[in-house]
Structure 1
Amino acid sequence: MLLLWPLVILGLYWLAKKILPLFKHDTSWILAGSLVLVASFYLTYPRLDIWHRDTAYNTTTYDMAAVRLIEQEAQNSPYVVLANQAVAAAAVNEFGFSKYYQGHFYYPLPTGTNPLYQVYLNAAERGLPTRDIIAPAADLGISQVFLVLNRYWADYDTLSKVAKDEADTWWQIADGRITVYRYDF
Structure 2
Amino acid sequence: IAFVLPLADSWRARSTLLLLGLFALSIHPLGGVPILLLLGLSLLALMRRVRWRQAGLCVGSVMALLALPALFVLYNLASGQSPVSPQSQMLSRFFTLFTDPYLPGALPIPFFVELFYDAMRWVPRFVVVLALFFAWRRRQTLTVSPVPMLILTGSLLGSLFLLSGFFTFADVIHYEQMEFAWRLLQTMFLLTTPWALVFLARLWKQYGGFSFERMSLLSLLMVIFITATWYLSYPQLNLKVRNAGASVSATDVEVARFLESRYDGESFLVLSHQMTSAAAIQESGFRHYLKTDDGLALWYAIPTGGKLYGYFLRMSMDGPTPELLNEIREFANVRHVYFVTYDSWPNAGFIRSRAASFADASYGVQGTKLVIYEYE
Normalised by the length of structure 2, the TM-score is 0.39
CA distance in structure 1 between the partners assigned to 2:347 and 2:323 by the alignment? 20
Measured at CA, do residues 40 and 62 of structure 1 come closer, stay the same or move farther in structure 2, by a change above 3 Å?
A: same
Structure 1 pair 52/138, CA: closer, same or farther in 2 (3 Å)? Answer: same
Shifted more, 140-149 versus 37-46: the winner is: 37-46
Letter in 1 for 2:327: P
CA contact (8 A) 2:274 2:302 kept: yes
1:128 to partner: Cα distance: 1.7
Which residues in structure 2 correspond to 1:25-40 (within 5 Å)? 25-40=214-229
**Counterparts of 2:282 and 2:258 in 1: how far apart (Å)?**
15
Q: Deviations over 1:11-69 (max 9, x none)?
A: x79xx8xxxxxxx733333322333343444453454x899875641111111111122
Picking from 309, 313, 317, the partner of 1:121 is: 313
**C-alpha displacement of 1:155:** 1.5
| 1:101 and 2:273 are equivalent in the alignment | no
Q: Secondary structure at the match of 2:246?
A: coil
| AA matched with 1:109 | I
Instruction: Identify the residue that residue 63 of structure 1 maps to in structure 2.
Output: 252
Q: 1:78 aligns with which of 254, 267, 274?
A: 267
Deviation at 1:170, TM superposition (A): 0.6
Q: Would the alpha carbon gap of residues 32 and 135 (structure 1) be closer, same or farther in structure 2, given more than 3 Å must change?
A: farther
Question: Which runs of no fewer than 5 residues in structure 2 stay unpaired?
Answer: 1-88, 100-121, 127-209
Whether contact under 8 Å (1:74, 1:144) holds in the other structure is no
Matched, 1:155 2:347: yes
Which residue, 307, 321, 336 being the options, matches 1:130? 321
Residue by residue over 1:81-106, the C-alpha shift from the partner in whole angstroms, topping out at 9 and shown as x without a partner, is 10000000011011111111111111
Please give the alpha-carbon distance, in whole angstroms, between the structure 1 residues aligned to 2:272 and 2:265. Answer: 20
SS in 2 for 1:181: strand
- Once superposed, what is the RMSD of the aligned Cα atoms? 3.1
Match of 1:174 in 2: 366
The whole-number CA distance in structure 1 between the counterparts of 2:351 and 2:277 is: 19
Q: Work out whether residues 146 and 182 of structure 1, in 8 Å CA contact, stay in contact via their aligned partners in 2.
A: yes
- Identity among equivalent positions (%) equals 22
Aligned length: 167
After the TM superposition, which segments of 4 or more aligned residues of structure 1 sit over 6 Å from their partners?
49-53
For residues 119-169 of structure 1, the C-alpha deviation after alignment (integer angstroms, 9 at most, x for no partner) is: 001111x23222222333212221111011122223212211111113211
Contact 1:63/1:87, CA 8 A, preserved across alignment:
yes
More strand by share: 1
User: What secondary structure does 2:266 align onto?
Assistant: coil
How many angstroms apart in 1 are the aligned matches of 2:239 and 2:310? 33
Higher relative contact order (CA 8 A, sep 6+): 1
In terms of Rg, which structure is larger? 2
Question: Aligned pair in 2 of structure 1 residues 100, 32: CA closer, same or farther (>3 Å)?
Answer: same
Deviation at 1:109, TM superposition (A): 1.2
> Is the CA contact 2:339–2:374 (under 8 Å) kept in the aligned structure 1?
yes
Q: Which has the higher helix share?
A: 2
Uncovered stretches (5+) of structure 1, i.e. residues with no partner:
17-23
Normalized against structure 1, the TM-score is what?
A: 0.75
Give 3-state SS (helix, strand or coil) of 2:318's partner.
coil
